[in-house]
Structure 1
Amino acid sequence: MYNFKISEIDSSKSPNHGSFLQTPFWCEFKTRHGWSYRRFDVTYILPAEPDYEACENSPVQEDLVKKFELAVLNRSFAKGMFSIAYIPLMPELPLECTDEDTLNKAFSEEGEQVSVLKDLVTPETQSIEFAYLLNDLARALKPLLPENTIAIRFDPAVGFNTPEDRDLFNYGIKQIARSEKLKLKKNKVDIQPPDSTLVSLEGTTEEIMARMHSKWRYNIRLSEKKGVKINRYLGNDVKLSEKIDKFYQLTKETNARDGNSSHAKSYYLDLIKSSQDELASGKDVPVVSLYIAEHEGEEIASIMTLFSKDESIYLYGASSNNKRNLMPNHLLQWTAMQDAKEYGSKYYDMYGMPPEGKNENHPMHGLYMFKANFGGKNIHRTGSWDVPVKGIYGLYSAAEKIRAFWHKVVMKKIRGR
């Protein structure tokens, strides 16, 4: 369906925009922690529909040429016997979707039809095109990737307002893959968190705070009133090693409480130092910061963030079991949001939340409420899709599911969670 023109490019010349997961900075960082990557210029043509009939006053449909840059990460397993190619937060839908206001007017009961239904563009109207896009892009990339690659995994940049809309879209892709005999599989183990909430940084700080739940505004002010102080550290701070040690200590305390796992301490140190080192050398890279909440000389909570012009990300967080009643996590997030706004980010991504957590009986209800009540807009992405390119993929996929079940279900039950 698609004709791709793909050429490898020098990452040093790549712009620093879009998702941080696609930036040269992040890819270079991951190469120091078990990954390799390549970067490509991609061009493809979306052909006009052969049976398209233009409506009155609508433009004549023509072939659409799409161009973008693409980073492909690669991770080897079993001492290099096989590897997985991973494409985070790409590709996007072929066509730009109709804006929400127009969609709402088109389906309103007030009667004025702003557009004929066939002219409206949503993710669902592009299901066939997108299924082929993933399939054909993987096929075009295969000869350019390591010989031992067994599958190409996508985390597409396609989001929805509700998990139901997302699930319906994914169901449609599965049906298309089955009927068209595309080797496209929905992976049950998502790499990036598909569900999140994005806090808009538009408007004044007062307007941003006004969009929060009233209890969250109260908690922020309470934390300030009780004397909690927030300190920010960059990669060139003379106290950085000491503060990373504290962050890691809090991370271990959090993991023991919640039954989670984390990266090695060197991972966090490398991330924040490499950001500042590259900025100091004149490169345009995201700013990585460490925030620590302190009360009466005791450091009680911490977060690590990444700022770029397009987005700001809450990457990692940890907190002590002590003084949680002082609400340091609320003040940490609010401080980071203000800094992100001053930096120029468009929104603050809380980066991961359980979509079912709105239910009070859900075990992660507290995490859901903490993130949702900052006044953001929930987003639900498709999750990971795989295009297998070698038969061994089936065994790898089964092993991956077993591993996920062991860590997320069995081990948590063993630990009493």
Structure 2
Amino acid sequence: MALAQRKQDATDARLTAVTLPEGPAWLTRARKAALARVAVMGLPARRDEYWRFTDPATLTDGAAIPADVLAVEDDPEFSATDALRVVFVDGVFDAEASDDLTAAGVTITRLAEARDLTWAADLLGMLEERGQQPVERPLAALTTATATDGLLIHVTGQAERAIHLSYDRRVTDADVALHHVVKLDAGASVTLLESGAGAARFASNMEVDVAKGAAFHHVRAQGRDHGRRMNTHTFARIGAEAVFKSFTLSVNGALTRNDCIMEIVGDDATAHVSGACVGDGDAFHHDDTVFITHDAVGCESRQVFKKVLRNGAVGVFQGKILVKHGAQKTDGYQISQSLLLDGDSQFLAKPELEIYADDVACSHGSTSGAIDEDALFYLRSRGVSEKTATTLLTLSFLAEALQEIADESLASDLRDRLAGWLDRHQH
């Protein structure tokens, strides 16, 4: 009882300090409803089941922990991709650094400038609220309530260019909350890219509604900032014959928690979520938490996560596949693996299957191990240095996750980034 009271007191104290951003009536209603959800659920604590491996304290405390200021530099990720670039600096849209928010097949509106958008009013906060069952996600509701900006993206056809969201940070204690909503009409398609440090503490929601036959491709690179604390939530509703694919590369960061909640509601749909993570040092903690619900016939889902950890770094994976009654012909695949480059690092995994249909093919697996000494010896015996051999074997380990990226040019870009990071961090 005392623990419950302390949790309630911490929630009350945090919510007392919240001032809802201004906006049109429909947005204010969505924010107030989200704040009410937080008040009922309470902010997460270490004793909560889905936070048992990750301490949320620095994500829920009243102020961000200052981090070193980064040198101002262009984001190196996705530089070879033709994309409409949208820049946020310390959570504020930077018009001068951004391209014109006009592209064929896509309508883009800033959340801070939203007015009477019927489609957004029907969707914003709705997928987040649906994603609160059966697992409560109060930090997502808090972001819905407090986000001051973001993008409302309506994809009506085949987007000719990718959309690249770049998150830059210039001050030591930036505390940012962004909320994006993406709606794809039937048969539409778009590629959405994200990169950058974001803030000393960075929270973001993305709600994605993928209609029949539409295709959403998402590639995200998190890194550059050792002191960053980040929690992100991606909520997706996937219609019949639609495709949703999301990949995240994470390097650096003090604490990163990425939640992905996908609901497959149409027959013959495809939903893939994957990630590659590399962490160095005992200040590094990275948590991927995934929940996929199959509620339609003949659908496929894949979860592929690989983590490379050294010098006391901690990696977490929590993944669940829920197959509802009637979701026959489901094909669900889940794999989480870690490569521990020393004896001090940890990988904590919690794979789950919950199946209520009898004609399904679902599997999950989780492994943790060290560099293959035989493979290392083989490369060394052929004149490859130990440093280069370790990098090659590490990239080989991460390859399955990177193969989930549909665009080979994007995959190549991230492979080069990983190779550079590994080369700099080998001793």
Q: TM-score, length-normalised on structure 2?
A: 0.26
Q: Which has the higher helix share?
A: 1
Q: Which has the larger radius of gyration?
A: 1
Q: Which has the higher strand share?
A: 2
Q: TM-score, length-normalised on structure 1?
A: 0.26
| Higher RCO (CA < 8 A, seq sep 6+) | 1
